[in-house]
Amino acid sequence: MVSIKPGTEHPVRSLDPACRRSPAPRPAETADGPAATPSQDWPHTIRWCEVPPEPAEPAVQNGRWLLLHGGSRFDDLLGERLAAAGCSVSVVRHGWAYAAEGAGHYRAVPDSTQDLAQVLREVSRDGTVQGVVSLWATATRPARQATPENVQWTVTGICAQTTALVRALATLKTTSS
């Protein structure tokens, strides 16, 4: 089987199904841990083939970009670089509720699907959103003496933000279809 990158004739990776084999008997564990790597239990063998590199694509595609701003100088620099490359950049910062703060500037609750869907509807009103860059996780600052519970809640919050963004993107796709 050969995987082809959509829209091209370039192979991405190759998996030879002729290399299927029966599962190996599980070896006994040693004092240092398992005697076999997990792949030895697989019912097939994976062989990777080197393929020629694809022609380089532009690093940034022009169009509308949504930048979920984490509040750092890096976020500002990325927005400036996208704009310098000819992109239209809309910036969304952390807020207590959805708010349009002027052309291309918004506030949204990071884990609110409704807020993010509203931003996406506004930004895509004049054209398709080419890309979304979420830097909200970079707003998380490490505590010097973080407990496991602190870390767990931080990670849970980051996952909730990502989930809300994915759900908002899904509503945009279904409403525009």
136 has a pLDDT exceeding 80:
yes
164, with CB counted inside 10 A (0-12, 13-18, 19+), is buried
3-state secondary structure of 65: strand
Per-domain boundaries in the chain: 2-41, 64-176
- For residues 5 and 56, which has the higher predicted lDDT (pLDDT)? 56
> Across-strand partners of 8?
none
120 has a pLDDT exceeding 80:
yes
Please determine, looking at this structure, whether the domain spanning 64-176 carries the CATH number 3.40.50.720. yes
**Structural contact between residues 172 and 119, judged by C-beta atoms closer than 8 angstroms:** no
How confident is the model over 82-101, as pLDDT tens digits?
999 889 999 999 999 999 99
Query: So what's the pLDDT on residue 49?
Result: 78
138 has a pLDDT exceeding 80:
yes
**Residue 89: CB partners within 8 Å, gap ≥ 6?**
65, 66, 67, 79, 82, 83, 104
- Quickly list H helices, the chain: 73-84, 113-124, 148-176
3-state helix, strand, coil in the chain (%, to 5): 35, 20, 45
**Structural contact between residues 43 and 51, judged by C-beta atoms closer than 8 angstroms:** no
Query: So what's the pLDDT on residue 66?
Result: 94
165 has a pLDDT exceeding 90:
yes
* Strands 88-94 vs 99-100: parallel, antiparallel or unpaired: unpaired
Nearest Cα neighbor of 109 from 149, 160, 146 is: 160
* DSSP state at residue 119: H
CA distance readout (Å), 61 to 58, 65, 84, 95, 104: 6, 9, 12, 29, 18
Query: So what's the pLDDT on residue 20?
Result: 41
Mean pLDDT, the chain, rounded, equals: 78
50 has a pLDDT exceeding 90:
no
